[in-house]
Amino acid sequence: MFSRHTAFTSIVIALLLSSCASVTELLPEEKATSVLSGREGVDSRVLAVKIDDSNMAHPQIGVEDAEIVYIQQVEGGLTRLAAIFSTIIPQRIGPVRSARISDINILSQFGRVAFAYSGAQSKLLPVISAANLQDLGAQRQSPTIYTTDPSRNQPYAMVLRADLLMQKILDDNLQVDLAKGVGFVFGELQEGGTPTQKVEVSWPAATYSAQWSEEESRWLLSHNKKLNLADSGVVLGATTFVIQMVSITPSEYGDKFGGVTPLTQTIGTGKAYVLRNGERFVTTWNRASADSGTTFTFSDGTIMNFDPGQVWVALTDREPEFTSRAIEKTK
């Protein structure tokens, strides 16, 4: 038989456990956030999609759901996007275009990603196949996955059914890594920034500008002087806009029209401007190897915090033009 002391002890323990449970219920639930963008969401397998960025390709589809968007130079001085998805996989993404040699190094820091693209130069295809990524180019897939949008003209009409592609990855048990950190750190705004209203980034035949919106707390993007509207009607923009100064040199590859494919060097170190919360910061980017992520640090070695939300990274070798923002002085 239990003694009175034992019974009393049991009651006290039960009350304490009940109290702890009540306190736990009162605590705010910690929400999952993406390691790639810092925004709310549960990380899943990584999907990388090559998206056309010429004027005729706009408005683009699904880009607003990406964690990270890279802007890179292609033949003729035009730009093309590499969009990275994880927490949100939209049903449709596009218009999908062909891969480039620079994609191999950009994507390698994410681990083994699902790589969706419309095709590539014959010389480049075996390089893609040998890389540490899941090659899911259109040449290997059903037209039910890489569809044609009848409302768009070729070659701007290929649209990826991303939902079907990700289901195929599950059904076929294909190896695609879950999202992992790539060097970005998300946190509070640090001191030392320069108030900035606008920045313009250029390539030989393309421009992007990012305009700070106090109302939306993000940088609203324009492409070739026009507001960058997505197919959904949303203005594309970034909470953190990075201008990563890189070396861009001719590669051994080229397009069918004789244009030389540029190689964007994203391994190494260099200057980067990081824009967040209406301010710009001068940092140093560093990436030691193909498998390592890219860090952004101040001159004293402190890591630069990104603002949680979609990140755009403009890879260019041309200095951007900034428009500073006046700060009202309090009386």
Q: Please report the pLDDT score of residue 30 as a whole number.
A: 74
Task: Please give the Cα distance from 228 to 236 (Å, whole number).
Answer: 6
Confidence of residue 259 (pLDDT cuts 50, 70, 90): confident
Q: Please report the pLDDT score of residue 258 as a whole number.
A: 82
Task: Please give the Cα distance from 97 to 80 (Å, whole number).
Answer: 8
Percentage with pLDDT > 90 across the chain: 86
Q: Which of 253, 291, 249 is nearest to 127 (CA)?
A: 253
Helices (H), 173-233: none
Q: Is the pLDDT of residue 12 over 70?
A: no
Q: Is the pLDDT of residue 323 over 80?
A: yes
Instruction: Dump pLDDT digits (tens) for 177-233.
Output: 999 999 999 999 999 999 999 999 999 999 999 999 999 999 999 999 999 999 999
From the CB of residue 14, how many other CB atoms can be counted at a distance below 10 Å?
10
Answer whether the bond into residue 59 is a cis peptide, omega within 30°. Answer: yes
Surface-to-core class of residue 290, CB atoms within 10 Å of its CB (0-12 exposed, 13-18 middle, 19+ buried) = middle
Taking the alpha carbons of 232, 234, 239, 241 in that order, is the dihedral positive or negative? positive
From the CB of residue 166, how many other CB atoms can be counted at a distance below 10 Å?
20
In CATH terms, is domain 35-331 a member of 2.60.450.10? no
Q: What is the DSSP letter of 304?
A: P
* Position 215, amino acid: E
Ramachandran bin of 14, using left for φ above 0, alpha for ψ from -120 to 50, beta for the remaining angles: alpha
Instruction: Dump pLDDT digits (tens) for 295-304.
Output: 999 999 999 9
Choice between 140 and 74, residue whose per-residue pLDDT is larger = 74
Taking the alpha carbons of 51, 223, 243, 280 in that order, is the dihedral positive or negative? negative
Task: Please give the Cα distance from 246 to 267 (Å, whole number).
Answer: 9
Ramachandran bin of 285, using left for φ above 0, alpha for ψ from -120 to 50, beta for the remaining angles: beta
In the predicted model, what is the mean pLDDT of residues 144-158? 96
Taking the alpha carbons of 70, 56, 113, 137 in that order, is the dihedral positive or negative? negative
Lowest-confidence pick of 21-30, 86-95, 232-241, 309-318: 21-30
Tokens 């920034």 identify what position?
193
In the predicted model, what is the mean pLDDT of residues 314-326? 95
Q: Is the pLDDT of residue 151 over 80?
A: yes
Q: Please report the pLDDT score of residue 158 as a whole number.
A: 98
Backbone φ and ψ of 54, nearest 5°: -75, 165
Task: Please give the Cα distance from 118 to 74 (Å, whole number).
Answer: 15
Confidence of residue 20 (pLDDT cuts 50, 70, 90): very low
Torsion from C-alpha of 17, 23, 27, 30, nearest 10 degrees = 0
Instruction: Dump pLDDT digits (tens) for 50-70.
Output: 999 999 999 999 999 999 999
The domain locations on the chain are: 35-331
* Position 154, amino acid: Q
Q: What is the DSSP letter of 148?
A: E
Backbone Cα Rg of the chain: 23
Q: Which of 216, 29, 212, 254 is nearest to 124 (CA)?
A: 254
- Residue 275: partners with Cβ closer than 8 Å, 6 or more residues away: 196, 199, 210, 212, 219, 240, 241, 242, 243, 281
Confidence of residue 140 (pLDDT cuts 50, 70, 90): confident
- String of b and e for 41-62 (b: at least 16 CB within 10 Å)? bebbbbbbbbbbbbeebbebbb
Q: What is the mean pLDDT of the chain?
A: 92
Sheet strands (E) in 167-239: 185-186, 194-203, 206-213, 218-223, 226-227, 237-238
Q: Please report the pLDDT score of residue 118 as a whole number.
A: 97
Q: Is the pLDDT of residue 271 over 80?
A: yes
